Amino acid sequence: MKVLIAGAGIGGFTAALCCLHHGHEVVLFEQANELSQVGAGIQVSPNAMKVFQALGIADAIAERGFRPEAIETRMGESGLTLFKIPLVARAKREWGAPYLHIHRADYVAALAQALLTQAPDAIRLGRSVAGYSQSDTSVSIRFDDGTEEEGDVIIGADGIHSRIREQMFGPGEPRFTGNIAWRAVVPASLLERDRPNATACAWMGKGKHAVTYYLRNGELVNFVGVVERDDWQREGWQERGSKEELQNDFAGWHPAIRELINSADDQELFRWALFDRSPLPGWTDGRVALLGDAAHSMLPFLAQGAAMAVEDAWVLARALSEGVSVSSALIDYQGQRLPRTSKVQSASRSNMTTFHQRTLSGRLRTYGPMWLGGRLAPQVVNARMNWLYGYDVTSRA
């Protein structure tokens, strides 16, 4: 079967690798002229790593990643630790794979290298997908330059502004969530007095939160700050923000956060508005299916958007190798994935309320039990992530 994939992000690359693994031919079309990713980190949780284990490329990814000591939640101003879930031995033992942080460029480079080793001609750069057409027996992907390529199935892995999705369902209505996000990557060597712990750390605050973690053998610290604000609403990854504005957003926070912000390069501080999209009625149209952010973009408050794309990729490739027809295989894929991605989407959304408690009573009600649970019943707190990280999409059980 010839699988045409629109978009060479984490979802598109993993879909290509999973399709090859299941015996299909693949061609991956990317609009950009070169493979590039924003300068930021990403967390790769054990549920995603299990797909890479099944593909035989987990070590190639892990060797470019950083293994955090724990998942930690702290109060933004005081730095008080609410709870800490140890990861080093636990992730592999209880969830079946390591938990990693990795620079996005290193992640995509590892995926691209694996794909090129197996299928040297599979990647086509500078190919901007405009849409598709199909018959009972084949499907064609159409490019902006007017050319077409024919295959048996199309996977729309073209991200949050997917044109494949637009053809299926129209432009859609992104809703501003009332949050803006900041991102920066800071060399750890610049942090002289206070450094974040070597954990995946979420810092809670009134109407805002931050996430810190290390990349590249601990050489870099990744910072993401999310602030409830409605004075600015542009949805892009590449808009620069001013350091003064970021300092104001996190004024009075723990010294580790303030030092991180003060040490960031002014030219490398970016911000963007966070939008939410209503769930789609479905992800397929005959021989065409959506995957990753194109199908189910989600708020980044559970660090699972790319992990869901990775899980999708395995299920879609497996369904294609087992279905009686392409369209029934794609419907089967959607049926297997929708309940899980919907649950993760809604858990991500509800983390916004958890992370941003504004009132004293809300903070006591939300963080009090976390703090107590972390001390009196850590095993119960630890087990709260089993449904997410313990999931193994490559196993049928």
- By the rule CB under 6 A, 303 interacts with ligand FAD: yes
- Footprint (CB under 6 A) of ligand FAD, residues 325-344: none
Say which residues have a Cβ less than 8 Å from residue 378's Cβ, sequence separation at least 6.
83, 85
Q: Which stretch binds ligand FAD (CB under 6 A): 68-76, 291-299, 331-339, 387-395?
A: 291-299
- Cβ-based neighbour number of residue 81 at 10 Å: 18
Of 226, 265, 304, 273, which Cα lies nearest the Cα of 43?
304
- Footprint (CB under 6 A) of ligand FAD, residues 209-268: 224
Closer residue to ligand FAD, CB minimum distance, 16 or 307 = 307
| 68, 76, 159, 286: residue in contact with ligand FAD (rule CB under 6 A) | 159
| 3, 5, 16, 42: residue in contact with ligand FAD (rule CB under 6 A) | 42
In whole angstroms, what is the distance from residue 150 CA to residue 180 CA? Answer: 41
User: Phi first, then psi: what are they for 112, rounded to 5°?
Assistant: -65, -40
- By the rule CB under 6 A, 31 interacts with ligand FAD: yes
| 18, 198, 210, 309: residue in contact with ligand FAD (rule CB under 6 A) | 309
| 43, 47, 284, 341: residue in contact with ligand FAD (rule CB under 6 A) | 43
Q: Smallest distance from the beta carbon of 84 to ligand FAD, in angstroms?
A: 18
Task: Give the β-pairing of 2-6 and 25-29.
Answer: parallel
User: Phi first, then psi: what are they for 102, rounded to 5°?
Assistant: -150, 150
Contact 65, 58 (CB under 8 A): no
Look up residue 357 and give its DSSP letter: -
- Cβ-based neighbour number of residue 259 at 10 Å: 18
User: Phi first, then psi: what are they for 3, rounded to 5°?
Assistant: -105, 125
| 163, 208, 216, 356: residue in contact with ligand FAD (rule CB under 6 A) | 163
Closer residue to ligand FAD, CB minimum distance, 275 or 371 = 275
| 70, 157, 210, 220: residue in contact with ligand FAD (rule CB under 6 A) | 157
Look up residue 278 and give its DSSP letter: P
Strand partners of residue 223: 184, 212
- By the rule CB under 6 A, 305 interacts with ligand FAD: yes
Closer residue to ligand FAD, CB minimum distance, 179 or 327 = 179
Q: Which of the residues are catalytic?
A: 213
Say which residues have a Cβ less than 8 Å from residue 35's Cβ, sequence separation at least 6.
8, 108, 109, 112, 123, 125
For residue 63, what is the enclosing H or E element? Answer: none
Closer residue to ligand FAD, CB minimum distance, 133 or 328 = 133
- By the rule CB under 6 A, 51 interacts with ligand FAD: no
- By the rule CB under 6 A, 300 interacts with ligand FAD: yes
| 72, 259, 285, 293: residue in contact with ligand FAD (rule CB under 6 A) | 293
Q: Smallest distance from the beta carbon of 27 to ligand FAD, in angstroms?
A: 12
Task: Give the β-pairing of 70-75 and 200-205.
Answer: parallel
- By the rule CB under 6 A, 366 interacts with ligand FAD: no
- By the rule CB under 6 A, 8 interacts with ligand FAD: yes
- By the rule CB under 6 A, 196 interacts with ligand FAD: no
- By the rule CB under 6 A, 284 interacts with ligand FAD: no
| 129, 155, 198, 260: residue in contact with ligand FAD (rule CB under 6 A) | 129
Closer residue to ligand FAD, CB minimum distance, 160 or 362 = 160
Q: Give the amino acid at 192.
A: E
Helix (H, G, I), strand (E, B) or coil at 285: strand
- By the rule CB under 6 A, 65 interacts with ligand FAD: no
| 306, 317, 330, 344: residue in contact with ligand FAD (rule CB under 6 A) | 306
Mark out the alpha helices in the chain (DSSP H runs): 10-21, 46-55, 58-62, 90-95, 104-118, 163-169, 243-249, 255-263, 293-296, 305-322, 326-355, 360-376, 378-383, 386-389
Q: How many residues bind ligand FAD (CB under 6 A)?
A: 32
| 7, 46, 131, 196: residue in contact with ligand FAD (rule CB under 6 A) | 7
- By the rule CB under 6 A, 304 interacts with ligand FAD: yes
Q: Smallest distance from the beta carbon of 336 to ligand FAD, in angstroms?
A: 17
Write the CA distances from 234 to 26, 64, 240, integer angstroms. Answer: 35, 32, 11
Q: Which residues bind to ligand FAD, rule: CB under 6 A?
A: 6-12, 29-32, 42-43, 128-129, 157-160, 163, 181, 224, 292-294, 300, 303-307, 309
